Amino acid sequence: MSCLKSIRYPQKFKMSISNKKKCFLCSKIISKSSSTALHDFPLDIETRSLWLKACAISDKEYSPSVLICSKHFEKDSFQSFSMRILKSNAIPTKFTKIAKNICQLQTNDEKCIANIQCEKGNCNQSHYTSINNEAVNGNIKQFIESSRVPVIFKNMLDNWEPFKWDLEKWNSIFENQLLDCRKGKITCTKEPLWENKCSNESHLFSEILKMSKNIENNGDWLYFDYKYIGENVDEKIFQSITWEKLGYENLGAKDSTLWIGSTGAHTPCHQDLYGVNLVAQVCGIKRWILMPPEMGKYLKPSRVPYEESSCYSRINFSCPDNLIDIDEACKCVSIILSPGDVLFVPHKWWHYVENLTTAISINTWIQTPKYDNVARLSESVVRLMVSSICSGVSEKTQLQLLNPNETFSTSMAAESIKFIDQSIKMIETEKETTDSMKLSSTSLLKCQFKMCQPEQSLCKVQFDTKHHRNNHTSSLLESNDTNIEDSHKLLLDALCNENVINQIVCNLINKDQPVP
């Protein structure tokens, strides 16, 4: 039953039936005869707040005249799909089209469409669109954070010293330093090669280069991944790193992570549940396959192995044959990042990333309070569920249920409840404020960008490579047995299912409303 059903506003989800109006998000014009409906925002303050967060609409942008169309809701959000009547706890989740305010940055619709140079779901590496300070009203940061699709910027960070280094230079920088790497192998199992199935080894940079040369023979790869500069890497070497040109003056090397991997190195397909992501491709090339949040229903989402703020897909993208049977409705965009490219990854977009050569990237995660306050509450509830299961199983099973960077402790449940209380208070006291990061005048510089729409069916993406083919022979296929007791895994996934967590969060936020 919905936690909002008893609220005395029967009209709050009724569609607008005026002659012709536009959807605020996609600018679609809806008439009385249209099969698509327009919906008012809820009158209930808490529920309206959830809608505004989901749509990335600020309180300043919102007015009672703001409407969104039914195309931004999943089918199961409707009490009556034929009449386009929403359930009282429905939340908009479908945002695959360009937001209205981004389209307005162009002088006409044709220019807006021209920015999306996607050919068969792949972002074409030519035809970047130039944008100047007048076009973005002097705020490239706002432009980035308003985008609901991935954006590639060309040569925006060419003042970074690392962009001038070749592999020989990188080798000299790390010449005598042992790098803590994750070692994996190209396999064709149904499930991904989880991090707890990889070995942790120390290697020289030169050994990463050698591993790339041998990938076609043995399928092995090395990944020096997710290493914060200043903690795992000497910050002095990377003093030139600043995200100022993209509007984030206060973000520098210490806010960035370094990723160095051999050919074939990858992380299982997942979505980041906090913030947004900027990735600079410094050396080599990487393939990114990205899918909007609503495509998760096709990707077998799982919280096992558990890692805070990450939801994994149980599909092994490293074995392209696994993608053939995915529903054609699952849309994606495939991108090849080359040196000089900077990729913006929107909130909660699924992504699978694989090195096509020895590749080096530097990224930064950007906090977005409009998403993160509710996300932290959700993750605190998930953590409580995880602690409950882990408290009753063996240490061996705990290691299999948790990602290597997570550990179980007897205080985990108490900490989770504390985090839940803190998150609720943050949501209750949340006010519309100006982002604390100072905008830089250099964010007005002219830049080239490209917006990438997810238009290709994932099952039709062609990304097989020689190192995949050589290592997917029957003699090299590995068992898919995870050795996790099915009851524990199934129970944890059931308790942490997104619909379950969303309902709990809804109950917590609307605690003053009686639940039938």
Residue 308: give its domain's CATH number.
Answer: 2.60.120.650
* Single pTM value for the model: 0.74
Specify the 3-state DSSP secondary structure of 268.
strand
Residue 336 forms beta bridges with which residues? 287
Residue 35 lies in a domain: yes
Token output for 252: 């520098």
pLDDT tens per residue, range 67-105: 999 888 877 678 888 888 888 777 786 664 333 333 333
What is the phi-psi region of residue 327: left when phi exceeds 0, alpha when psi lies from -120 to 50, beta otherwise?
Answer: beta
pLDDT tens per residue, range 498-511: 999 999 999 998 75
Q: Are residues 269 and 308 in the same domain?
A: yes
Q: Are residues 323 and 192 in the same domain?
A: yes
- CA-to-CA distance for 455 and 334, rounded, in angstroms? 10
Residue 98 CB contacts under 8 Å (≥ 6 apart), including other chains: 26, 112, 116, 147, 148, 149, 451, 453
- CA-to-CA distance for 241 and 364, rounded, in angstroms? 11
* Number of domains, the chain: 3
Q: Are residues 359 and 380 in the same domain?
A: no
- CA-to-CA distance for 214 and 466, rounded, in angstroms? 12
The length of the chain, given as a count of residues:
516
Residue 515 lies in a domain: no
* Helix, strand and coil in the chain, % to nearest 5: 30, 25, 45
Please report the pLDDT score of residue 510 as a whole number: 78
Helix (H) or strand (E) holding 360: strand 359-366
Residue 84 lies in a domain: yes
pLDDT mean by block of 10 residues, the chain; 516 residues: 32 43 84 82 80 77 90 80 81 55 34 33 54 50 86 93 96 94 92 94 97 90 96 92 94 97 96 97 97 97 95 94 94 96 97 97 92 93 96 92 92 96 87 43 61 94 76 55 70 95 91 46
Helix (H) or strand (E) holding 118: strand 118-119
Helix (H) or strand (E) holding 53: helix 45-55
Distance spanning both ends of the chain, measured CA to CA: 7
Please report the pLDDT score of residue 345 as a whole number: 98
Q: Are residues 286 and 317 in the same domain?
A: yes
Residue 149 CB contacts under 8 Å (≥ 6 apart), including other chains: 96, 98, 116, 333, 346, 451, 452, 453, 454
Please report the pLDDT score of residue 440 as a whole number: 43
- Of the CA atoms within 13 Å of residue 185, those in its CB half-sphere come to 14
Nearest to 127 by CA among 116, 143, 137: 116
Residue 83 lies in a domain: yes
Please report the pLDDT score of residue 87 as a whole number: 81
Q: What is the DSSP string of 389-440?
A: HHTTS-HHHHHHHB-TT----TTHHHHHHHHHHHHHHHHHT------SSPPP
Residue 514 lies in a domain: no
Q: Are residues 297 and 334 in the same domain?
A: yes
Q: Are residues 229 and 362 in the same domain?
A: yes
Residue 228 lies in a domain: yes
Please report the pLDDT score of residue 507 as a whole number: 92
Residue 36, domain extent? 1-115
Token output for 182: 């994750």
- CA-to-CA distance for 128 and 358, rounded, in angstroms? 26
Specify the 3-state DSSP secondary structure of 131.
strand
- CA-to-CA distance for 482 and 476, rounded, in angstroms? 17
Asked if 457 and 295 count as a contact pair (C-beta separation under 8 A), the reply is no
Q: Are residues 388 and 280 in the same domain?
A: no
What is the phi-psi region of residue 165: left when phi exceeds 0, alpha when psi lies from -120 to 50, beta otherwise?
Answer: beta
Please report the pLDDT score of residue 194 as a whole number: 94
Residue 27 burial (CB < 10 Å; 0-12/13-18/19+)? middle
- CA-to-CA distance for 48 and 118, rounded, in angstroms? 34
Q: Are residues 156 and 305 in the same domain?
A: yes
Q: Is the dihedral of CA 53, 55, 60, 64 positive or negative?
A: negative
Please report the pLDDT score of residue 79 as a whole number: 82
pLDDT tens per residue, range 320-347: 889 999 999 999 999 999 999 999 999 9
